[in-house]
Amino acid sequence: MLAGARAALAEVFGFQDFRPGQEAVVASLLAGRDTLAVMPTGAGKSLCFQLPAVIDDGLTVVVSPLIALMDDQVRGLRLQGVAAGALHSGRSREDNAETWRDAMAGRLRLLYAAPERLMLDGVMDGLSRIRLSRIVVDEAHCISRWGHAFRPEYLALPKLRARFPGVPVAAFTATADAPTRRDIVEILCGGDAAEFVFGFDRPNLTIRIAEKRDPLRQVLAILDDHRGQSGIVYRLSRKSVEETAADLVRQGYTALPYHAGMPAEVRAENQDRFVSEDGIVMVATIAFGMGIDKPDVRFVVHVDLPSSVEAYYQEIGRAGRDGLPSTVTMLYGLADIRQRRRFIDESDAPEEQRRVEHQRLNALLGVCETTECRRRALLRTFGEELEKPCGNCDVCLEPPEVLDGTVPAQKVLSAILRTGSRFGSGHIIDVLTGHMNDAIEQYGHDSLPTFGVGSEFDKNGWRSVVRQLVATGVVDIDTTGYGALQLGPRGRAVLKGEETVGLRRPSAAKTRRRRGDGA
Ligand code: ADP
Ligand code: ZN
């Protein structure tokens, strides 16, 4: 069967070989299995269903939300001698009628259709009278209510399964996070499908995630390594974009701001300069980057925590498109986690969606606090397994020292409980390090048994510990008030000693030195 596929690959499509992963997806489709394939844009998704369509006898129906894309594919297929047609509102009534007649007469291998057209009674009736080899849903993430690409027309698609129960469904998308994958398999494939995820690795990117200590200085250190090169510095707010851009200009860099609050002409001008000139540092909110094709972006810095692994991955993906070595660095701290949580809690999305958004954030925090290869952890959140550590991330290059953090975690938890779960990290750390302040005096917290028990770390060390505990669900941060620490989902178990906690060792000496020369 796959020998036939290889022959068709060469004869029909003119390709020497499969790209990584394509063969496995093709085999799954040819075996008639419900399949979900997740591959980034440009990885070669369409071949994965076009090739089986050419080999199998019946008609392959391809649902797609994008008219231009359907037309492109149909044109390409016809040039290769494959009978294909499309039904959508962008074509004349006569053209659609002709395509439909061809499909009904068995003259087409592939029929592309916009979802609303496919679901018409007449179309469904017609399709039920001919032999279908499979139904392909392209851009399948449009079915997920969690995504930003949600399309109401896609909601009708599960009916296909009821209407054509024996016909396998193959879903394709470039969006890979776990909630979206679950949704797609649930809604389109009745809960069970062969899943393939590949092609997300970008080995030329050196991935670094670091504790945010003195962001401007940290950014300058990165820029210093990339003098004369182009890069993007992402910031969360418009105000911080303006401030950082001004700071960098003061330091002698050609830095331009970019955010949605700027006049359109200025934005366009800054973007043009970034694309056409060398050595420009674009300081931007996430409004920047979509559709920008600049192959030699050598660095991307996230000064603030992104919203999810997907957002992060998309943003770092703008570096090193030419395949040459590039660095991507994220800085983050406890305040970032708190802010992200608050954004989610304060949004007016339904509760279920907010829960998923918290899960998404947790997946990113897992990558931030991992003590294994970052690239591995990152790709795993997409469902892709990297066989061995990458050797090109901060964890691989400078492995962190991991210590048993169970006792420090218990100290933090007990300080939280004994102070009534009403105080923020600054206060809790003062209690642990035995540092007097007005509030401690006022509440008599200096007489607590936990007062001053935290001599193993200095304040910065404890900050790192608390951040790691929040990131891993041992401690929670209240987003409604001023950031009170509370027991997280894992808190009780850790306190009782039922669960252990691994921590990256906060380096006290380094912390002090950096703080000292930071001014
Ligand atoms: P996607 O839909 O995943 O964004 P496409 O299906 O448009 O990507 O494919 C991207 C490009 O890769 C196309 O130009 C396609 O012809 C090419 N391509 C796909 N498979 C192969 C292959 N096995 N060998 C060489 N080129 C391929
Ligand atoms: Zn690595």
pLDDT (tens digit, 9 = 90+) per residue, 82-134?
999 999 999 999 999 999 999 999 999 999 999 999 999 999 999 999 999 99
Find out whether the beta carbon of 50 lies less than 6 Å from any atom of ligand 1.
no
Instruction: Tell me the ligand closest to 386's alpha carbon.
Output: 2
Collect all residues with Cβ–Cβ distance below 8 Å to 262 and sequence separation of at least 6.
270
Question: How far, in Å, is the centroid of ligand 2 from the Cα of 390?
Answer: 4
Question: How far, in Å, is the centroid of ligand 1 from the Cα of 63?
Answer: 19
In angstroms, the CA 485 to CA 420 distance is: 10
Question: Which ipTM value was assigned to this complex?
Answer: 0.97
pLDDT value of residue 510: 43
In angstroms, the CA 503 to CA 468 distance is: 7
Q: Is the pLDDT of residue 197 over 70?
A: yes
Which atom of ligand 1 lies nearest, measured to the CA of 45? 3
| Digit-coded pLDDT (tens) for 432-450 | 999 999 999 999 999 999 9
| Digit-coded pLDDT (tens) for 267-312 | 999 999 999 999 999 999 999 987 788 999 999 999 999 999 989 9
| Digit-coded pLDDT (tens) for 222-234 | 999 999 999 999 9
Across 319-331, average pLDDT? 96
In angstroms, the CA 201 to CA 193 distance is: 23
Helix ranges (H only) for 164-212 are: 178-189
Pairwise pLDDT comparison (364 vs 175), residue with the higher score: 364
pLDDT band at 389 (very low <50, low <70, confident <90, very high): very high
Question: How far, in Å, is the centroid of ligand 2 from the Cα of 403?
Answer: 20
pLDDT value of residue 35: 98
Burial 339-365, CB ≥16 within 10 A → b, else e: bbbeebeeeeeeeeeeebbeebbbbbb
Collect all residues with Cβ–Cβ distance below 8 Å to 4 and sequence separation of at least 6.
55
By most ligand atoms within 8 Å of CB, the mutation choice from 47, 80, 110 for ligand 1 is 47
- At residue 50, the 3 state secondary structure works out as helix
**Mean of pLDDT over the chain:** 93
Which atom of ligand 1 lies nearest, measured to the CA of 43? 3
In angstroms, the CA 293 to CA 348 distance is: 34
pLDDT value of residue 47: 97
Find out whether the beta carbon of 45 lies less than 6 Å from any atom of ligand 1.
yes
Question: How far, in Å, is the centroid of ligand 1 from the Cα of 120?
Answer: 31
Nearest CA to ligand 1 atom 25: 15
Taking Cα atoms as reference points, which of 362, 373, 353 lies closest to residue 305?
A: 362
Instruction: Tell me the ligand closest to 136's alpha carbon.
Output: 1
pLDDT value of residue 75: 97
Question: How far, in Å, is the centroid of ligand 2 from the Cα of 394?
Answer: 7
The residue count of the chain comes to: 519
pLDDT value of residue 507: 65
Find out whether the beta carbon of 42 lies less than 6 Å from any atom of ligand 1.
yes
pLDDT value of residue 287: 92
pLDDT band at 1 (very low <50, low <70, confident <90, very high): low
Which atom of ligand 1 lies nearest, measured to the CA of 17? 23
In angstroms, the CA 393 to CA 467 distance is: 21
pLDDT value of residue 514: 40
Q: What percent of the chain has pLDDT over 90?
A: 82
Rounded to the nearest 10°, the torsion over CA 68, 319, 311, 178 is 80
Q: Is the pLDDT of residue 257 over 60?
A: yes
In angstroms, the CA 377 to CA 371 distance is: 9
In angstroms, the CA 448 to CA 441 distance is: 11
In angstroms, the CA 164 to CA 137 distance is: 14
The alpha carbon dihedral of 412, 516, 229, 235 has a sign of positive
In angstroms, the CA 345 to CA 292 distance is: 32
pLDDT band at 156 (very low <50, low <70, confident <90, very high): confident
Cα 430 vs. chain centroid, distance in angstroms?
Answer: 36
Pairwise pLDDT comparison (67 vs 243), residue with the higher score: 243
Instruction: Tell me the ligand closest to 42's alpha carbon.
Output: 1
Contact (Cβ atoms closer than 8 angstroms) between residue 190 and residue 33: no
Nearest CA to ligand 1 atom 13: 44
By most ligand atoms within 8 Å of CB, the mutation choice from 22, 25, 46, 51 for ligand 1 is 46
Nearest CA to ligand 1 atom 18: 44
In angstroms, the CA 28 to CA 333 distance is: 44
Question: How far, in Å, is the centroid of ligand 1 from the Cα of 461?
Answer: 49
Q: Is the pLDDT of residue 149 over 80?
A: no
pLDDT band at 517 (very low <50, low <70, confident <90, very high): very low
Find out whether the beta carbon of 481 lies less than 6 Å from any atom of ligand 1.
no
Burial 209-247, CB ≥16 within 10 A → b, else e: bebbbebeebbeebbeebeebbbbbbbbebebbbebbeb
In angstroms, the CA 346 to CA 216 distance is: 29
